[in-house]
Amino acid sequence: MSGAAEEADSPPTHMSEDSPGSSSSGGSGGGRRTPDLRGGDNGGGPRASSSSSSAPPDQVLDNVLESVLEFLTAARDRNAASLVCRSWYRAEAQTRRELFIGNCYAVDPRRAVARFRAVAAVVLKGKPRFADFSLLPDGWGANVKPWLEALGPAYPCLERICLKRMTVTDDDLGLVARSFPGFQELSLVCCDGFSTLGLAVIAEGCRHLRVLDLIEDYVDQEDEAVDWISKFPVSNTSLESLMFDCVGAPFNFEALEALVARSPSLRRLRVNHHVSVEQLRRLMARAPQLTHLGTGAFRPEAPQGEGMSVSELAPSFAASTSIVCLSGFQEVNPEYLPAIYPVCGNLTSLNVSFASLTAEDLTPVIRQCHKLQTFWVLDTVGDEGLRAVAETCSDLRELRVFPLDATEDSDGSVSDVGLQAISEGCRKLESILYFCQRMTNAAVVAMSNNCPDLVVFRLCIMGRHRPDRITGEPMDDGFGAIVKNCKKLTRLSVSGLLTDKAFAYIGQYGKLIKTLSLAFSGNSDLSLQFLFEGCTRLQKLEVRDSPFSDRGLLCGLDYFYNMRFLWMNSCRLTMRGCREVAQRMPNLVVEVMEEQNEDKVETETVDKLYLYRSLAGPRGDAPPLVKIL
């Protein structure tokens, strides 16, 4: 692994369903320069002497190579190019415009900026995904400050920063505003640590801001919220995307209305639950050009029966002919759903995952969404609602069904019946996340046969070790069919009653799988051995509540260097096994996380293990409950 580029195996186009598309690593984010192929100073190379009419052959070749690499956009291709030889390594670094770091602890920030000198965009990820489930101790880390301190002096022309699962303070946001005079885009996804005070600094200090996307962040609640919307300068008319539906604090609506009115390029707007349907109508009148709209509460401001009528709201949607993506509905009154009918025919994306709507509520909406490609919904939609999706949305590519109640003993409203209906009606499906309590092998096999283009299959059977609800057999054959028949599969989540047989299938057929999540699965360490030996492209492995011991962990010794990380919790690991991995693989960072222990006595069992590759070595900011072996 050479430098930070090897951590950038494939930067995501979207870090959330509505986030703006990222510029590729070799794209035009920093502007394309025109090299002087004769060796002059036009391309940034050494200046030719006045007595020389041509550059040395090596210099000409370097300039030609840099010119060619400007058109190389995929990060994986750029990483491969950098490994050809030293001159390619240098040329690739000099022409890279986007830096993607999949783990903020994988490389020292100073090393990254020393190698890549012309970066205009940075994408940085921090905590492992299980932080979303409160499985990391408080203050675990992933602070963005060390990165910002390195980026500021190195990239004064930086235009875009996208952070995911990072801790970002108000002071950090102030540093962004001060360090990058031409800063244009800030996206924070699942981040924490900041408040409306920091947002006010960004709004006021980044005078060329085009994008401010706050997606599923945990925004600190102050006693008195800052009026951050009012801080956008009147001269800023270039705003293209503003998403703040995760900010719980009330805000100055008149200031937002004025901001929207003076932003003719605004295409994406997602507001929080303090926006009523009356206010939503006013915003839509100011911005008929919107393509992506997050509706806020979607309920009237006045008591029921006294607010705006559906017939008064519907014309606003009828006039918004550009809307293709609709989300929000955070406190939805189902009686107002008919107001969105005028835009349903154009929708390619609909997210109602914050609203506990039933099939009765949603079916009339779904019946009009013939172009729908992305649909996020709660399981309250039921199998009946999913059947309506299957009958209407033949072009569907992505489906996510989230649980209203994520506990193991909840009564889920969707089952194998809904999954099979989707597989029969939505045969172009490429990605599915499906939470349920009851499933059958037959339904999963049908999905594999009917939807062979699946790239992502995440089936989460919430109860522990749930078998086929009809036959009582393990779910081995269902998941085996998925990896056999879906040849493009790169991400897989498995659950339910599974034996080693299922993992033998995954190891044998899952040759393209990069991300694998296991829950309540397997019956011996042989399962892990099958995965390590068979899934040769595996990058990320997440395991929870499974009967795997040190023996299974040690099966991966020959494969860990090729992976980005391994996460295991609530398994049968011991401190001895984890120490052995740390001793035999010194270039890996092995972190174990302890439960709160009042006696402060080290226990032999390990509750959580996080193992990742790093060029920087063990980090220095681990809290007391995290031990680095």
What is the spatial distance between Cα 101 and Cα 550, in angstroms, rounded to a whole number? Answer: 30
- With pLDDT > 90 as the criterion, what percentage of the chain qualifies? 75
- Strand intervals (E) in 440-564: 456-461, 491-494, 515-519, 540-544
Strand partners, 376: 351, 400
Of 110, 106, 189, give the one whose Cα is nearest residue 147.
Answer: 110
Task: Give the Å distances, CA to CA, from 308 to 303, 336, 343.
Answer: 10, 9, 19
Q: Evaluate whether 243 touches 212 at the Cβ level (below 8 Å).
A: yes
Q: Examine the pLDDT at 482 and tell me if it is beyond 70.
A: yes
CATH 1.20.1280.50 at 62-95, yes or no = yes
Strand partners, 461: 436
Sign of the dihedral defined by the CA atoms of residues 280, 281, 286, 291, in that order:
positive
**Alpha-carbon span 224 to 411, nearest angstrom:** 40
Residue 501 has pLDDT above 80, yes or no: yes
Weakest mean pLDDT among 191-200, 431-440, 507-516, 588-597: 588-597
CA distances from 423 to 14, 420, 488 (A): 25, 5, 17
pLDDT at 101 > cutoff 60: yes
Asked whether the predicted pLDDT for residue 26 surpasses 60, the reply is no
**Angle, helices 476-485/500-509, rounded to nearest 10 degrees:** 0
Q: Which of 85-94, 115-124, 443-452, 561-570 has the lowest mean pLDDT?
A: 85-94
DSSP state of 232: S
* Average pLDDT estimate for 452-478: 95
Q: Are strands 160-164 and 398-402 parallel, antiparallel or unpaired?
A: unpaired
Side-chain half-sphere exposure of 592, counting CA atoms within 13 A: 22
Q: What is the DSSP string of 576-601?
A: HHHHHHHHH-TTEEEEEEPPP-TT-P
Is the pLDDT at 377 greater than 70, yes or no?
yes
Answer with the residue of higher pLDDT: 373 or 92: 373
> Would you state the pLDDT for residue 602?
61
Residue 601 is encoded by which pair of tokens?
């006595």
Own/partner contacts of 338-346, CB < 8 Å, gap of 24 or more, are: 338/310, 338/314, 338/364, 339/277, 339/310, 339/313, 339/314, 340/365, 341/314, 341/317, 341/365, 341/368, 342/314, 342/317, 342/318, 343/317, 343/318, 344/368, 344/369, 345/369, 345/370, 345/371, 346/321, 346/371
Cα separation, 56 vs 505, whole angstroms: 57
pTM: 0.88
Residue pair 530/507 in contact (Cβ under 8 Å)? The answer is yes
Token pair recorded at residue 130:
């299980």
306: confidence class by pLDDT, cuts 50, 70, 90: low
Give the torsion sign (CA, 227, 233, 234, 239): negative
3-state secondary structure of 303: coil
| Residue 50 reports pLDDT greater than 70 | no
For the segment 540-577, what is each residue's pLDDT rounded down to a tens digit?
Answer: 999 999 999 999 999 999 999 999 999 999 999 999 99
Report pLDDT digits (tens) over 390-420.
999 999 999 999 999 877 777 778 999 999 9
* Domain map (residue ranges) of the chain: 62-95
For all residues of the chain together, what is the average pLDDT? 88
Q: How confident is the model at residue 11, as a pLDDT?
A: 35
pLDDT for position 594: 80
**Phi first, then psi: what are they for 131, rounded to 5°?**
-65, -30
**pLDDT at residue 52 greater than cutoff 50:** no
Tokens 């949305």 identify what position?
A: 393
Angle at 129 between CA 127 and CA 133, to 5 degrees: 105
What size, in residues, is the chain? 629
Among the residue ranges 166-175, 301-310, 340-349, the one predicted with the least confidence is 301-310
Judged against a pLDDT cut of 50, whether residue 108 lies above it is answered with yes
pLDDT in tens, 31-43: 433 333 333 343 3
Query: pLDDT tier at 75 (50, 70, 90 boundaries)?
Result: confident
Q: Give whole-number Cα distances, 485 to 141, 431, 459, 475, 620, in Å.
A: 40, 15, 16, 16, 46
pLDDT in tens, 340-370: 999 999 999 999 999 999 999 999 999 999 9
Lowest mean pLDDT, pick from 34-48, 51-65, 288-302:
34-48
Number of helical (H) and strand (E) elements in the chain, helices listed first: 20, 21
Give the confidence band of 287 by pLDDT, cuts at 50, 70, 90.
very high
Q: Are strands 588-593 and 605-613 parallel, antiparallel or unpaired?
A: antiparallel
At 599 the pLDDT is 56
Query: Could you give the CA distance from residue 15 to residue 366 in angstroms, rounded to a whole number?
Result: 26
User: DSSP code of 574?
Assistant: E
61 confidence band (pLDDT: 50, 70, 90): low
Any idea which of 35-49, 241-255, 524-538 has the lowest mean pLDDT? 35-49
Residue of 404 and 64 predicted with greater confidence: 404
